[in-house]
Amino acid sequence: MNDLTNSSIQRQNILNNKYAIQRIQEYIGFEGILFEGEFKFTKVMVVKFFDIDERTLDRYLEQYQVELKHNGYVLIRGNALKELKLQFAPVINVGSKTTQLGLFNFRSFLNLAMLLKESSNAQLLRSKMLDIVIDTINERTGGGTKFINRRDANYLPAAIQESNYRKDFTSALSNYVNMGNYKYSLYTDKIYQCIFKENAKEYKQILKLAETDNARDTMYAEVLNSIASFEIGLAFELERHSNKIKRKLEPAEVDTIFSKFTQHPQQRPYIEDARIKMASRDLHFRDALHLKLEEYIQSVSPADFERFLGEQSVDFEKQLEEAKDVMKRLKQSE
């Protein structure tokens, strides 16, 4: 998250985080004019704030027009321009012959600040912006992001489901695979490598987890669902092949089953979704880069910020309290 001028994904991550945007707006105190329900800034205002000439601004508007328009920059004409002139003529100083006018909202204004290399004001703002983003995430997660995955209301159901399927998988390894206890960690790592290209040790190193930490406690619901899909599917295949040949499977035979299962097209959407979610969220929320998943990194969606930082996020202890009756029934059924 260090050089915003070179990363469209990191820029969009900040702009999708409405909680950080609110804090940044309070910090700057640059309000512009209130038009059509939000603060807007003319090109003249923007040029003055960043201490650049209008030609520099025009060059950025041309080079990054798709990104800036996506984040709220607009050209207004007709009735909208007429209304703007009526309300703010003394402020915006627009001539009567002007037929269109470019307006930035606050998101596109910040977007420009993350792009401008010629402005020392933009550079200072970028630095403060990054501090505010980090502070906002830490404040809304209670001081750390190690277990930010648990703030997702979908996490606990996914974790419970995965735990049940895990038992089916380990039972299948015990009953149908001719190998010592090493098989449990070996084939667990194989599942991890199939889904997110890392074994448990690599995953822990990237997230800076302690040796005693359970890796799955830090995984997102989508990743756990993908793991669960693998576990229950492989358990079925191990049992089927073992019953067919009427003996336990040898490691080479298990490897063949793994290979065929992971190449099945049915798994691809779950694997790709898990890779995107892990790579993208961990980079932004945990500042953890999964190099082997770098090609899957995308910007974090506004919906994800709501899921982990906003009103949709749920304290894990509260989730446990609400689910205690369900967990009690599950334990009694074992």
Q: What is the pLDDT along the chain (334 residues), one digit of tens a residue?
A: 568 999 999 999 999 999 999 999 999 988 788 888 889 999 989 999 999 999 999 999 999 999 999 999 999 888 888 888 888 877 776 666 777 888 999 999 999 999 999 999 999 999 999 999 999 998 988 878 999 999 998 999 999 999 999 999 999 999 999 999 999 999 999 999 999 999 999 999 999 999 999 999 999 999 999 999 999 999 999 999 999 999 999 999 999 999 999 888 888 899 999 999 999 999 999 999 999 999 999 999 999 999 999 887 877 666 666 655 555 554 455 4
Judgement on whether residues 274 and 295 belong to the same structural domain of the protein = yes
Q: What is the pLDDT of residue 197?
A: 96
Task: Compute the distance between CA of residue 27 and CA of residue 45 in angstroms, rounded to an integer.
Answer: 18
Q: What is the pLDDT of residue 96?
A: 65
Judgement on whether residues 216 and 280 belong to the same structural domain of the protein = yes
Q: What is the pLDDT of residue 262?
A: 87
Judgement on whether residues 291 and 206 belong to the same structural domain of the protein = yes
Judgement on whether residues 206 and 120 belong to the same structural domain of the protein = no
Residue 143's region, left for phi above 0, alpha for psi from -120 to 50, else beta, is left
Which of 140, 159, 178 is the last residue before a domain boundary? Answer: 140
Task: Compute the distance between CA of residue 20 and CA of residue 10 in angstroms, rounded to an integer.
Answer: 13
Judgement on whether residues 221 and 309 belong to the same structural domain of the protein = yes
Which of 110, 140, 170 is the last residue before a domain boundary? Answer: 140
Q: In the sheet where 38-42 sits, what is the strand order?
A: 33-35, 38-42, 100-105, 74-77
Judgement on whether residues 35 and 74 belong to the same structural domain of the protein = yes
Task: Compute the distance between CA of residue 108 and CA of residue 139 in angstroms, rounded to an integer.
Answer: 25
Q: Identify which of 265, 303, 300, 270 has the alpha carbon closest to the alpha carbon of residue 286.
A: 300
Q: Are 192 and 198 in contact (CB under 8 A)?
A: yes
Task: Compute the distance between CA of residue 313 and CA of residue 148 in angstroms, rounded to an integer.
Answer: 9
Judgement on whether residues 124 and 166 belong to the same structural domain of the protein = no
Q: Residue with structure tokens 């009694």?
A: 332
Task: Compute the distance between CA of residue 134 and CA of residue 287 in angstroms, rounded to an integer.
Answer: 10
Q: How far is CA 316 from the centre of its chain?
A: 19
Q: What is the pLDDT of residue 137?
A: 92
Q: What is the pLDDT of residue 183?
A: 95
Q: What is the pLDDT of residue 82?
A: 85
Q: What is the pLDDT of residue 325?
A: 59
Q: Which two tokens stand for residue 239?
A: 């049992």
Which of 140, 156, 174 is the last residue before a domain boundary? Answer: 140
Q: Are 299 and 13 in contact (CB under 8 A)?
A: yes
Angle, vertex CA 34, rays to CA 28 and CA 40, nearest 5: 65
Q: What is the pLDDT of residue 332?
A: 52
| Cross-strand bridge partners of residue 5 | none
Q: Which domain holds residue 103?
A: 4-140
Q: Identify which of 176, 168, 159 has the alpha carbon closest to the alpha carbon of residue 222.
A: 159
Judgement on whether residues 91 and 155 belong to the same structural domain of the protein = no
Judgement on whether residues 180 and 292 belong to the same structural domain of the protein = yes
Judgement on whether residues 83 and 212 belong to the same structural domain of the protein = no
Judgement on whether residues 9 and 91 belong to the same structural domain of the protein = yes
269 to 83, 264, 273, 274: CA distances (angstroms):
49, 11, 6, 9
The length of the chain in residues reads: 334
Task: Compute the distance between CA of residue 52 and CA of residue 37 in angstroms, rounded to an integer.
Answer: 28
Q: What is the pLDDT of residue 2?
A: 67
Q: How many domains does the chain have?
A: 2
Judgement on whether residues 199 and 266 belong to the same structural domain of the protein = yes
